[in-house]
Amino acid sequence: MDLKKIVNLCKKRSAFCVNKTTDDCQWFGDGHAMFLLSPEIPFLSADVISGLYELDKDKLELNYKYKLLDSELQLLADTAEDEELLVPLNINVIYGGKTLLPFKSSQGLILIDIDYLKPLGVNQYELTFTLRSEKCVAVKKGMFVTAIITAFDCNRDDDFFEVIKQLYKLNSVSRENEFMKNKNFDEMEGVNDVCDN
Helices (H) and strands (E) in the chain, counts: 4, 12
Is this model's pTM higher than 0.85 or not?
no
Q: How far apart are CA 65 and CA 17, in angstroms?
A: 5
Rg of the chain taking only CA atoms, in angstroms:
23
Looking at residue 134, its pLDDT comes to 76
Beta-carbon contacts of 41 under 8 Å, excluding residues fewer than 6 positions away, are 3, 26
Contact, 81 vs 131, CB < 8 A?
A: no
Q: What is the pLDDT along the chain (197 residues), one digit of tens a residue?
A: 899 999 999 988 888 888 888 777 889 999 899 999 988 888 888 888 888 888 888 887 887 887 766 544 666 777 788 889 999 998 888 888 889 999 999 888 889 999 999 999 888 888 999 898 778 899 999 889 999 999 988 777 777 778 778 877 888 887 787 777 776 555 545 545 544 55
The phi and psi torsions of 142 (rounded to 5 degrees) equal 70, -125
Q: What string of DSSP letters covers 13-43?
A: HT-EEEEEETT--EEEESSSEEEEPPTTSPP
**What is the reported pLDDT for 157?**
72
pLDDT recorded at residue 187 = 53
